[in-house]
Amino acid sequence: MSGRTVTRAQLSEAVYQEVGLSRNESADLVESILDEVAGHLIGGETVKVSSFGSFYVREKGQRVGRNPKTGEEVPILPRRVLVFRPSHVLKDRINQTLSKPVVK
């Protein structure tokens, strides 16, 4: 793993380079897309991006956990967690890089 992280600014710059919108318009477009995805997920909907994957929210029930230091039982409250399931197309693209030498 390379340890690199892609930021909103880098996504906006990529849109600027590829699409040709102004930098401000590109940043607004990226923000708008992320806000739209987040809004649907908050509403409990699944977000599917063709050839990329699906984002969905899963409900986790209450359970009993343990404090690893003391061994004491601690209740873990119910919560919602975000799950991403990559598409087979994305999985195949990622695994194709394993067969090719990495150039640094």
CA distance 97 to 82: 27
Give the C-alpha separation, 20 to 23, whole Å: 9
* Residues 79, 34: Cα–Cα separation, whole Å: 22
Put simply, whether the predicted model's pTM sits higher than 0.85 gets the answer no
50 contacts: CB under 8 Å, gap ≥ 6: 87
- Per-residue pLDDT 10s for the chain (104 aa) are 456 899 999 999 999 999 989 999 999 999 999 999 999 999 999 999 999 999 999 999 999 999 999 999 999 999 999 999 999 999 999 998 776 665 55
| Beta-sheet strands, E only, within the chain | 47-49, 53-60, 63-66, 73-76, 79-86
In which element (H, E) is residue 90 found? helix 88-99
